[in-house]
Structure 1
Amino acid sequence: MTSPCPPAALPTVSAPSARTPAGLVGNTPLIWVGEPFTGPGHGFWAKLEGANPGGIKDRTALHMVGEARRRGELRGGAPIVESTSGTLGLGLALAGITYGHPVRVVTDPGMEPMMRELLTAYGAEVHLVDAPHPVGGWQQARRERVAELLAAGPGAWCPDQYHNPDNVSAYRPLAHELVTQLGRIDALVVSVGTGGHSAGVGSVLREFFPRLRIVGVDTTGSTIFGQPAAPRLMRGLGSSIHPGNVAYDLFDEVHWVAAPEAVWAARRLARCHYATGGWSVGAVALTARWLAATMPAESRIAAIFPDGPQRYTGTVFSDAYCREHGLLTTAPPSAPQEIADTTERIVTSWTRCTTVTDPLGRSAVPAGAAPHAAVVAP
């Protein structure tokens, strides 16, 4: 007996579908962010990477693990060990389930409790360091703990997201998605942490649009662009080390954003447009909002929102947390302060600089040009 035809009134299914969670990574949507978040007649396009199962770093986790397996650096069933402030941990948990590897992530007390619980639910072991490194802060303390875990686990492999060129090449598809979706892009606003998605997306878009204006977004207290290290509340952007993946030559300018300013922008986005996220999204949105006001109205500005709001209910969107840390302030100024050089003075609030250099004086290396030396336990 043949099955009856479906009712004619049923709509055609067009939403993405996949047999595995990894198949849902990529092809994320864009949303127009205009009034009332921006001024009349101005706005920008936000790429909603929170639509991936775990966030933007699902892309790089799957790619780094897949490439390591292809090269024989990561053998079947061997442990994956990495330092993370959150989103990469989710991506590695997804990669572990996809490829059949146990995952051990090292983090610090700044990771949101919800994130630690999610990682555990997805099967990852969460290792917590209890004290910052005297010079390199929590980030260096986490990296040292990773080294200990690698030495203790035969065959264990570390993606080393800060220096692995596969972290950069993973984002070529994201750049191609933006070209397909927007056709023309005049400016890109992107947060900078490990340097992976800013370098990967920026380098590809420059091939299509040589005059593209690339604006990097960092947090106050981060060393990436030459500022001294300081305690940081914001997670997912900034660093207390100097990642090798940061492509300094790509940036036309850098903006540092302070935590209260990012909180204001993330919360304002939520009220105005529903589409929002955490620290990185707030910082990127604040910068893109200013850029939209200063460029011609017909300019096409793309801003990458790395994740969504769900994991930040205990921080960015918690009144109690924000009051405790002095984050519920008035709206930030309409424009950033400016400095002529990234080392001119210590910045403590939203500040812009159009002279971007590598603070360590390293020569630029094309993204993905050098093979990655796997970090494997003896």
Structure 2
Amino acid sequence: MTEPTNPGLLSLLRGTPLAHVHTPLPDQHPGFWAKLECLSAGGMKARAAVSMLRGARSRGELRPGAPVVESTSGTLGVGLAFAGQALGHPIVLVVDRELESSMRSLLRAHGARVEVVDRPHPVGGWQQARLERVRELCAELPGAYWPDQYNNPDNPAGYHGLAEEIVAELGAADVLVCSVGSGGHSAGAVRTLRRHWPRLRLIGVDTVGSTIFGQPARHRIMRGLGSSIFPRNVAYGEFDEVHWVGPGEAVDSCRRLAAHSFVSGGWSTGAVALVAAWAARREVGTRVVTVFPDGPQRYLDSIFNDDFCRANGLLDRPIANRPVEIAHPQALEVHGWARCRAVHDPASAVEVPA
């Protein structure tokens, strides 16, 4: 394998701590463990980014110094910028106009070229519009490589190390709670963890308006989890249940975490924290672990901005202490926290028993 251009960077990916969180979310609970990937230099998705680029280099699909082109809603972009510096590749990121200007500036500051699409695809929304621009850029740039985070098996493979760190730090767990976007960290982490803890249960956390688990596609405020396409990295057969969380609920969780635990984050962090607290409260003695993918800095103009939250109706609303139960993902369209124990791949006619 070709040596990294900046090997010192890669040492910053590992060794993130576990915190025991007791913040009321919204009620008291016995506590859960959170892997603080926000304290990694490139955030959680830098693990996947490095894995995907290294895999492509080892197969000869990515030549030394060749450009890497990918679609991102922000977090993977930071990870790819990290991987590009570590491994010596220029990074071209396709974002959409709804991505925060501060995040665009950060990506450019890390050396990435940022391409912005200005209108959503009529069927696949912003995600599909970004992917179409990725394909155009790959045709234009000599030697360009597209990691295809949604379908690339090197994405989940990047989280084996994260899972082994959890095992070393925690020793045992009963429930893993993961946000689901590309499907990478849930698939990679649970497969490794179940080699140590075969009875570990996996709870997936999606956002309302996402199609991943069979709900209809709608405009989504929450970024970083959810999808308007069907990523093949989502390991449907590994999930025991799925929860959908609304943006008001995620905002409440993020703000509670910031005020009481000091460690907080974005939409994914708020969503998984709410569900992890519920899981810990539901059955006394259950050891629950989750992953906080990034920190709060990116969300100062959204989650932590009162004007933004009021404009979107996200403040001063009652927060349930348990989800609404639905029998099947197509039983009804959910608009807030809901739970379903029938997990299946919407792109397949075969249902996966929970």
TM range (shorter): over 0.9
Q: Which runs of 5+ in 2 are unaligned?
A: 1-5
Matched to 1:200, the amino acid is G
User: CA offsets per residue over residues 230-266 of structure 1, 9 Å max, x none?
Assistant: 0001010000000000000111100000111100110
Q: Deviating runs (4+, > 3 A) in structure 1?
A: 35-41
The alpha carbon displacement at 1:109 in A equals 1.6
| Aligned residue in 1 for 2:295 | 308
User: CA offsets per residue over residues 74-100 of structure 1, 9 Å max, x none?
Assistant: 001111000000111111111111121
Identify which of 329, 336, 341 aligns with 1:354: 341
**Take 2:349 and 2:141, find their aligned partners in 1: how far apart are those partners?**
33
**1:229 and 2:235 matched:** no
**Take 1:234 and 1:264, find their aligned partners in 2: how far apart are those partners?**
13
CA contact 1:218–1:255 (8 Å) conserved in 2 = yes
Q: Structure 1 residues 204, 19: closer, same or farther in 2, change over 3 A?
A: closer
CA contact 1:253–1:356 (8 Å) conserved in 2 = yes
| Aligned residue in 1 for 2:10 | 22
| Aligned residue in 2 for 1:329 | 316
TM-score when scaled to structure 2?
0.95
User: CA offsets per residue over residues 329-378 of structure 1, 9 Å max, x none?
Assistant: 334111100100011111111000001011111789xxxxxxxxxxxxxx
User: CA offsets per residue over residues 210-248 of structure 1, 9 Å max, x none?
Assistant: 211110000000000001100001010000000000000
| Aligned residue in 1 for 2:330 | 343
**Take 1:202 and 1:38, find their aligned partners in 2: how far apart are those partners?**
27
Report which of the two structures shows the higher radius of gyration computed on alpha carbons.
Answer: 1
Alignment of 1:259-298 (within 5 A): 259-296=247-284, 298=285
CA contact 1:187–1:214 (8 Å) conserved in 2 = yes
Matched to 2:37, the amino acid is E
User: CA offsets per residue over residues 126-177 of structure 1, 9 Å max, x none?
Assistant: 0000000000000000000000000111110000000000001110111111
| Aligned residue in 2 for 1:220 | 208
CA contact 2:71–2:130 (8 Å) conserved in 1 = yes
Matched to 1:99, the amino acid is L
| Aligned residue in 1 for 2:173 | 185
Matched to 2:263, the amino acid is A
Aligned length: 346
| Aligned residue in 1 for 2:159 | 171
**Take 1:322 and 1:101, find their aligned partners in 2: how far apart are those partners?**
38
Identity %, equivalent residues = 55
| Aligned residue in 2 for 1:204 | 192
**1:32 and 2:44 matched:** no
**Take 1:154 and 1:71, find their aligned partners in 2: how far apart are those partners?**
18
CA contact 1:37–1:272 (8 Å) conserved in 2 = no
| Aligned residue in 2 for 1:64 | 52
Q: Structure 1 residues 116, 205: closer, same or farther in 2, change over 3 A?
A: same
SS of the residue corresponding to residue 192 of structure 2 reads helix
Alignment of 1:149-164 (within 5 A): 149-164=137-152
Identify which of 244, 247, 250 aligns with 2:235: 247
Matched to 1:77, the amino acid is G
